[in-house]
Amino acid sequence: MTTPEAEQPHAPRPEARLEQAVRAAEQALIEYEIAVETFRVEVENFSRLHEQRLGPLYLRLEELDAEIAEATAARTGDPEDVRRAEEARANVLPIPGVEELMHGWMDGHGLYPEAAAMLTDQAVRPPERVRPGEEARKLYRELARKAHPDLAQEEDERARREEFITRVNAAYARGDEALLKELAEEWAAGPVPPERRPSPAEELYARLEWLSQRKELLNLVARELEDGAIAGMLRLAPDDPDALLEEIAEKLRADITRREAELAALLEQG
C-alpha cells in the first residue's frame, strides 16, 4: 500500500521556472535581433539605392544653384549676392580630405560616375538593387536561430558562432541566397554544440538582466532606424520603393529643367 507521500509528484527544482523563463527570453531576443537586423539591411540597401539614383540629381541641382548665384552676383555686384554665391559654391566644392576617403567612388573630376554620365549625356548605369528575397530571409532567420552566439555557454563555442554569424550577416546584407544556402549546409555539417547545462539560480538572474539590457540596446537601434529619413521613405512605399525613387527623381529632373532655364536667362541678360 502506498503512502500519501509516495503518491505526491516530485517538486520541481527551484530554478526550473526561472530557467524556462531565461530560455523563452533568449528566443524572444533572437527573434527581435533578427527583425532589427532585417530592418537595418533594408534601410541600408535602400539608402545606397537612394544615393545612387538621386545623388547625381541633387548634385546637379547644387551646381545649378551655385551657377545661378554666381551669375546673379556678377550681374548686380551686390555684396550680399556675392556672399550667397560664395556660400552656394562652397556647398558644391568637396570637403578637404574627403577625396581620399571617397577613392573609387568618384572619378578624377570629383563627380560620381552617374553624375559624370548625366552631365555628358551618357546613359546612366542602373544601380544594383540589393534587397534580400523571401528565400534569403528564410535562410537567414533559420541560421540566426540555430547559430546565434547567445545559445552557447562555452567561450570556444560562442567564438565559433560569432565568426559564423558574421559571415551570415554579410551574405544576407548582399542578398546572396546561394552563399546563405552554403552556410546552412556548413552549419548542418559542423560540430553539434553541447547541450546546455543547468545553471544556478543566480546565474540565471544575471542572464535575464543581460537579456533585458540587450533588448533595451536593440530598442535604441530600432528607434534610430525608424526615426531616420530613409525609413520614413520606406514606410511611404513598403511594397514598391523603386517607384517612390522614380517619382522623386521625376520631380528633381523637373527642378533641374527649371533651374537650367533660369540660368540661361541670367546669362543672356549678362
Render pLDDT for 163-201 as a digit per residue (tens, 0 to 9): 888 888 888 877 788 889 999 998 888 765 555 444 467
- Give the model's confidence band at 127: pLDDT under 50 very low, under 70 low, under 90 confident, else very high: very low
Report for 51-60, 96-105, 125-134: range of highest mean pLDDT = 51-60
Looking at the predicted structure, is the pLDDT value of residue 219 above 90? no
For the entire predicted model, the pTM comes to 0.52
Looking at the predicted structure, is the pLDDT value of residue 122 above 90? no
CA 52 and chain centroid, separation: 15
* Nearest in space to 59 (alpha carbons), one of 97, 106, 111, 102: 111
Distance CA(58)–CA(252), nearest Å, equals 7
Looking at the predicted structure, is the pLDDT value of residue 155 above 90? no
- What pLDDT does residue 130 have? 53
Looking at the predicted structure, is the pLDDT value of residue 16 above 70? yes
Distance CA(163)–CA(167), nearest Å, equals 7
- What pLDDT does residue 112 have? 46
- What pLDDT does residue 115 have? 45
Here the contacts of 260-266 (C-beta below 8 Å, separation 24 or greater) are 260/64, 262/68, 263/64, 263/67, 263/68, 263/71, 266/68, 266/71, 266/72, 266/75
Q: Write the pLDDT tens digit of every residue in 65-105.
A: 999 999 999 888 899 989 998 998 888 876 555 444 444 44
- What pLDDT does residue 255 have? 93
Beta partners for 106? 103
Q: Write the pLDDT tens digit of every residue in 36-52.
A: 888 888 888 888 888 88
Beta partners for 103? 106
39 and 222 in contact (C-beta within 8 Å)?
yes
Q: What DSSP designation does 67 have?
A: H
Here the contacts of 226-234 (C-beta below 8 Å, separation 24 or greater) are 228/43, 230/43, 230/46, 230/47, 230/50, 231/39, 231/43, 233/46, 233/50, 234/42, 234/43, 234/46
Write the DSSP string, 108-171. Answer: TTS--HHHHHHHTTPPPPPPP-----HHHHHHHHHHHHHH-GGG--SHHHHHHHHHHHHHHHHH
Angle at 119 between CA 118 and CA 124, to 5 degrees: 15
Helix (H) or strand (E) holding 46: helix 16-76
- Cβ contacts of 249 within 8 Å, gap of 6 or more: 53, 54, 57
Q: Write the pLDDT tens digit of every residue in 205-215.
A: 767 777 787 78
Q: Write the pLDDT tens digit of every residue in 234-268.
A: 888 777 888 888 999 999 999 999 999 998 988 88
- What pLDDT does residue 12 have? 60
- Lookup: cell for 254: 523637373
42 in helix, strand or coil? helix
Mean predicted confidence (pLDDT) in 219-228 = 86
Distance CA(19)–CA(40), nearest Å, equals 31
Mean predicted confidence (pLDDT) in 217-223 = 85
177 and 140 in contact (C-beta within 8 Å)?
no
Does residue 231 or residue 131 have the better pLDDT?
Answer: 231
